[in-house]
A and B are shown apart, each in its own frame.
Chain A
Amino acid sequence: AQSVAQPEDQVNVAEGNPLTVKCTYSVSGNPYLFWYVQYPNRGLQFLLKYITGDNLVKGSYGFEAEFNKSQTSFHLKKPSALVSDSALYFCAVREISGAGSYQLTFGKGTKLSVIP
């Protein structure tokens, strides 16, 4: 079975400071990993994904994430936070093959608040 853990319910950061939103995962085989962002009353918007190759993935709005296989982590980062980055962030995983390969499994989400 596949699972995702986002250990922080909320992350507060000052505008202009770097931000990190943590994610760890568990799968039987190799993972596809995703980050999505959700604004109030909106659907989830895709930010970035890791499939294979370079462990550092760059995505939308200046976000990036680093895949670390030994630590089974896929933390989301941004060098300089904006107030408009305040939202709910979800990490998701899917196994490359196997019974769960149709399903995206999401973490519980981390609320990011960027303080002006």
Chain B
Amino acid sequence: GAGVSQSPRYKVAKRGQDVALRCDPISGHVSLFWYQQALGQGPEFLTYFQNEAQLDKSGLPSDRFFAERPEGSVSTLKIQRTQQEDSAVYLCASSLEAAGLGNIQYFGAGTRLSVL
């Protein structure tokens, strides 16, 4: 596609439910990033994939958060047993090359997760 696509755009979950957020990066992009953006804050790094390899998951806030990119293209961010503090916009970004050299990251519109 022309840009990074994320689905769903909005997700409402009851506390304790599991959710799965999907990211379709720009075709051919090697790098894929997930960020969490709380209300009134800047995006915060969650995890990074180079192709199918998850090279950095240091930003995942707890073991309830899990991300995968099994074929090096589409990625899924899964949150188990959602809590109210998980409410945020989850942004996905992709870049053409492996992270480094100041590559531009292209962002999707995000998934707004509300946990009730």
Residues of chain A at the chain B interface (Cβ within 8 Å): 4, 32, 34, 36, 41-46, 49, 51, 90, 92, 94, 96, 101-109
Min C-beta distance of A86 to chain B, whole Å: 17
**Chain B window 46-88, contacts with chain A (Cβ cutoff 8 Å), 1 for yes, 0 for no:** 0010000001101100000000000000000000000000000
A103 to B60, CA, bound (A): 12
7 A-B pairs with the lowest CB-CB distances in the bound complex, closest first = A106-B42, A43-B107, A32-B102, A51-B102, A103-B45, A44-B107, A102-B48
A45 to B93, CA, bound (A): 11
| Interface residues, chain B, with chain A CB atoms under 8 Å away | 4, 33, 35, 40-45, 48, 55-56, 58-59, 91, 93, 99-102, 104-110
Q: Report A-chain residues with C-beta under 8 Å of the C-beta of B33.
A: 102, 104
- Chain B's closest residue to A33 (CB) is B102
**Inter-chain contact total with CB atoms closer than 8 Å:** 58
Q: Are the CB atoms of A104 and B102 closer together than 8 Å? A: no
Main secondary structure of the interface of B (DSSP, over half): loop
**Nearest A residue (CB) for B55:** A102
Contact B4 A43 (CB under 8 A): yes
Interface contact B91-A105, CB-CB below 8 Å: no
Interchain CB contact under 8 A, A107 and B56 = no
Q: How far is the CB of A12 from chain B (nearest CB, A)?
A: 18
Determine if B56 and A103 form an interchain contact, defined as CB atoms under 8 angstroms apart.
Answer: yes
B102 and A94: CB pair below 8 A? Answer: yes
| Residue from B43, B48, B59, B110 having most chain A Cβ neighbours under 10 A | B43
**Is the Cβ of B107 less than 8 Å from the Cβ of A45?**
yes
Q: Please, how many angstroms separate the alpha-carbon atoms of A51 and B100 in the complex?
A: 11
